[in-house]
Amino acid sequence: MNLNQQIYSKESIKARMLQNATKLWGVKNIQALDPLVKLLIDAFSTEVFKANNEIQNVNGRILEKLARLLTPTKYTHPNPAHAIAFCIAEEDKELLLEHSEFFFKKHLNSFRKVQSDQQIEIPFTPIDNVEIINAQTVLMVAGNTVYEIDEQLNKLPVSRISNSIENYRKIKIGLDFSNFSSEIFPESLNFYCSNPTFEHIDFVYRLLPHIKITCNENELNITSGKNYPKIEEIQGYEGLFRDQSILFKLKEDIKNIYSDKFIEVDGFNPKVADNFSNWPEELYDQIQLIQQYKDRNLVWLTVEFPPQYDQDILENFSFVLNAFPIYNRGWKKTEYNLDIMGNNIPLETADNEYFLYVDEVIDELGKKYTEIPFMPTNDLERGLYTVRRGGMERFNARNAVDLLSNVMELLRDEVAAFSVYNRDNVKDVLGEISIKVKGLMIKTDQVNRQLKDDVNYVIIEPVENSGHTYATFWMTNCSMANSLRPGTELSSQKNQQKIYLLTETIGGLEEQKRSDTILAYKYALTTRDKIISKEDVKNYCKMELRDEVKKISVKRGTMISDRPKEGFIRTVDVEIIPINYAFYGQKYWDNVADVLKNNIKLKAIDGVEYRVNINEN
């Protein structure tokens, strides 16, 4: 790249033109050339330099657009932030719909005098339809400590008990079913297992399917992951391409990130309600605690862990009901008259908002439009739509900024040529112009940083007699929704329901741009979204971390397996050194390493254990 810049710089172009002129006219010394020839060559070299810059810009835009078109949408799309939240149910059983929006108001400080502070609403929705029940964990016994859990799920130690050897690897959990009025006990309970202190130890969540849970000496069945309502299977091309859609891919990726932290417990005795008063033996002497909860209907579960878990790890566990993943997306609606606007509907977003995907397109007659089907057919009917990104405007904000930048560059380069006119104070006027141009350049740089991305459009093939058309779509705030702390309250605008964050929001990223798009295309082209070789691992990490990577090394290793009845196993160790390790901190990079490892395992071949470490140096 540096070599090309030297070859096509203005001075090198001028030097080559002068050298060719001396050869053409048989002159040995460049200084012997006519001054008019030098002046013309200087002017021509400037024009050639500008033309070359324009060609390079066009080549870059063409390459970027080709890479964007040929890369799977998932890798060039904005990524919404996500986290785990929990909700308090008001009825015995409730269904929290996936389009239910909960908002957090974020205050943005302005660093400019002419601009006031802003307050934006950041929306979140459940990752899928989620069933919640009117019950929650209120007591936990770990080691020699009894913990009380408040409404915000904070663990508070309330008393000490004698520590027995037989309870060394056991936790007792007290579930409060006092407000659960139904006579039919739930068939299954889904727990979110939280251990933020030791979450980066590999086996803490991976061995959860190997724990044993009993209720009144009745052993229960344990399944890893969280169950969601099953979606209707679609056969043929439509089902195949639905599974590759951006909506499906985003949801599956977020579900996979948190799947190891959920367990499903079933096999309860239908008459478990008859044993609400059965407290664990080690709590019989806690008279004050029993008196405090004597009016509560508590169900006690005994959780026995494998030998790998020590006492410190067990004491930092929490088991939460009614927890589910959420992600940052908000619903927007736009309406246009096709008679005036043609068949294009712009899907405009506000500042700090990015288009995610189309929800539905419907006209005033109630006709619902569908996306152009991915199937071999020549008989496409009306009532279809497709989404296009940018390129529909004749002259947009980006063109205006580029045009103004070119004018200012021309004024800056050529203003000295007019300084020979000393009459009528022309020189003073030109000096004022230079000062104004400098101020305008500063404003242009600020506008260029705040410039919005290209607008997305819905292009439809309308049915007859259709006028007004309504298009709804989902947007996201990307990195603006990151770093919301656990315990943050998110409220709904339609009802009094609220949800609370259990984990920090992470994962929000803007779409890939420029060289990042090329890296995404390189990964998609060479791997087909499957990780086999060492280079595949490196390309994937580079694509995900973008310009934050300083060095990546992949090598083979061995480790002692944490699973029962296994010895040494082979591993693939991925060592990553980022550029700004100290800026983000260890906790951030540990979370990034966990996400990378989970994604690599999903895309890699079975039977290979991956270990991802991100270190400062």
Whether the per-residue pLDDT at 442 is higher than 80: the answer is: no
Give the pLDDT score at 236. 65
Do 539 and 589 share a structural domain? yes
SS (H, E, C) 166-204: HHCCEEEEEEECCCCCCCCCCCEEEEEEECCCCCCCCHH
Do 91 and 121 share a structural domain? yes
Do 200 and 293 share a structural domain? yes
Give the pLDDT score at 328. 96
Whether the per-residue pLDDT at 376 is higher than 60: the answer is: no
Give the pLDDT score at 68. 67
- Quick one: pLDDT band at residue 421, thresholds 50, 70, 90? low
Portion of the chain with pLDDT greater than 90, in percent: 25
* Number of domains into which the chain is organized: 4
Give the pLDDT score at 233. 72
- Regarding predicted confidence, which is higher, 202 or 79? 79
Rounded Cα distance between 125 and 474, Å, is: 11
Do 250 and 327 form a contact (C-beta atoms < 8 A)?
yes
Do 26 and 64 share a structural domain? yes
User: What does the mean pLDDT of the chain come to?
Assistant: 82
Do 373 and 276 share a structural domain? no
Whether residue 93 lies inside any domain: the answer is: yes
Whether residue 600 lies inside any domain: the answer is: yes
Q: Smallest Cα–Cα separation from 387: which of 455, 483, 452, 318?
A: 455
Q: What are 183-212's pLDDT values in tens digits?
A: 888 888 999 999 988 888 888 998 999 899
Q: Which of 528-532, 563-567, 592-596 has the lowest mean pLDDT?
A: 563-567
Q: Across the beta sheet with 298-304, what order do the strands follow?
A: 155-160, 145-149, 136-142, 170-176, 298-304, 212-215, 218-219
pLDDT average, residue stretch 488-503 = 88
Whether the per-residue pLDDT at 270 is higher than 50: the answer is: yes
Do 48 and 18 share a structural domain? yes
* Residue numbers of the domain that contains 18: 1-70
Q: Smallest Cα–Cα separation from 317: which of 301, 331, 335?
A: 301
Give the pLDDT score at 60. 75
Whether residue 273 lies inside any domain: the answer is: yes
Q: What are 302-348's pLDDT values in tens digits?
A: 999 998 898 899 999 999 999 999 999 999 998 887 765 567 888 88
Whether the per-residue pLDDT at 82 is higher than 80: the answer is: yes
Which residues are CB-contacts of 129 (< 8 A; sequence separation ≥ 6)?
A: 95, 96, 97, 98, 228, 229
Do 142 and 192 share a structural domain? yes
H helices of 26-77, where?
35-70
User: By three-state DSSP, how is residue 486 classified?
Assistant: coil
Q: What are 209-251's pLDDT values in tens digits?
A: 989 999 888 899 999 999 887 777 776 666 666 777 788 888 9
Do 574 and 527 share a structural domain? yes
pTM for this prediction: 0.79
Do 295 and 180 share a structural domain? yes
Rounded Cα distance between 428 and 436, Å, is: 13
Whether the per-residue pLDDT at 123 is higher than 90: the answer is: yes
Do 52 and 19 share a structural domain? yes
